[in-house]
Chain A
């Protein structure tokens, strides 16, 4: 059974600081996704990581994937208040199929002024 673990589950950080969210998964997969969810809202796709060593960046967020370690990271650079949200990583459950995602528990990020 595929398990996806995120840590930390809650992150309170000051504006301007850097931090990293970690996502570990238990079985082989080469597809990992990061989503953002604002309170009461839907999920917004941030990154799709499809191969070992993949790195993608958008603004102050950068995601990477190490399939050998079964680890993805979401790095936040110089945090701003607008980044406050819940961040989920998600992994495809079965390699032959797409989009049957198993989500991590989510990391609640609060950026303080």
Chain B
């Protein structure tokens, strides 16, 4: 079982919908990440939050809007998505952004389908 919990596990949305992905961890980690993974491809970094502040935005389109309400929660708000945004969205955490010894802890992901 993963210590990073993502909900929902599956999401189907239309291009005009607004939805949110949620991620929660209770390991006391202070850095949280969103990755996008297309089928048969490696994960690609989208956003990094460090101490609840956005640290990195990998030039992600504005139809993806991250939010970190507190150190345990990370949201990804979705609006006006395109079918090519369909993918597995992975949340991850680490003790802090500069953590030499600790790998990322990944959640099980949300499989998103945009119709």
| A41 closest partner in B (C-beta) | B108
Total interface residues on B, using CB and 8 Å?
28
**Smallest CB gap from A9: residue in B:** B40
In the complex, the number of residue pairs spanning A and B with C-beta atoms less than 8 Å apart equals: 65
Residues of A within 8 A of B107 (CB): 42
Q: Within the assembled complex, what's the spacing in Å between the Cα atoms of A19 and B74? A: 39
- A48: interface (CB < 8 Å): yes
Mark each residue of chain B from 55 to 66: 1 if its CB lies under 8 Å from any CB of chain A, else 0.
Answer: 010000000000
Question: Once bound together, how far apart are the Cα atoms of A18 and B101, in whole Å?
Answer: 29
* B104 beta carbon closer than 8 Å to chain A: yes
The answer to whether B31 and A99 touch across the interface, beta carbons within 8 angstroms, is yes
Q: Interface readout for A80-112 with B: 1 if CB under 8 Å, 0 if not?
A: 000000001010000011111111111000000
Beyond A33-B103, A42-B90, A45-B104, whether A99 also contacts B33 by CB under 8 A is: yes
B42 touches A98 (CB 8 A): no
Give chain A residues whose Cβ lies under 8 Å from the Cβ of B96. 98
Does chain B have a CB within 8 A of A61?
Answer: no
* Sampled A-B contacts (7; CB under 8 Å): A50-B100, A88-B42, A96-B98, A100-B45, A100-B56, A101-B104, A106-B41
